[in-house]
Amino acid sequence: MTLIHDGDLVAVVDPGMVADRRMILDPLAEAGFGAGDVTDVVFSHHHPDHTLNAALFPAARFHDHWAIYSGDLWESRDAEGFRLSPSVRLARTPGHTAEDVTTLAETATGLVAATHLWWTSEGPEEDPLAEDPAALRASRERVLALRPALIVPGHGAPFPPPA
C-alpha cells in the first residue's frame, strides 16, 4: 500500500491483502491519518491482493481504469490523465492486466510512480502473470521516459528506476 498526501488529498494506492489490518491502519496513524481521513483509493488493477481492504476507507472515492466510485455513484471517466490533485494524476499502463493504472505524484524530490509494471526492484524481469508482455514493456518505457525519481512497485519496497 502507498500513501500520498497532497493538500486536501489523502490517497491510498492498492490496499490489498495483509495478515492483519493493523498493518495498514497503524502506518496510516503514524503518518497522522485515520481511515476516515482517506479521501481517495486507487486500484492499480482489480486483483484481490491490491483491493481487498478498500472497505477500510468509508469516506473515500475509489478510482480504477474507467470510473470513480463513491457511495452508490459510478462516474465513468478514463483514468488517463485524470488528476486527483494538482500534483497527482493517473496514467493507463496496461500489461499486467489490460486495465492497469499507474499513480504519478510530483514531489519536491521528483516524480514518484506507484505501479504494477514492476513487482519488486529485483524482478522478475518478465512478469509471469502479464496478460500482454509487449504492452507491459511499452508501459514500462512510457513511465521511464517520464524520468521518475522513485518507483513504488506492486510487491516491494520503493526503488530508483533502472538505468
pLDDT tens across 2-43, in order? Answer: 999 999 999 999 999 999 999 999 999 999 999 999 999 999
Query: Is the predicted pLDDT of residue 163 greater than 80, yes or no?
Result: no
CATH number for region 2-152: 3.60.15.10
Sign of the alpha-carbon torsion through 44, 48, 49, 55: positive
pLDDT tens across 53-67, in order? Answer: 999 999 999 999 999
- State the residue for C-alpha cell 482489480: 46
Q: What is the DSSP letter of 26?
A: H
Q: Say whether pTM exceeds 0.75.
A: yes
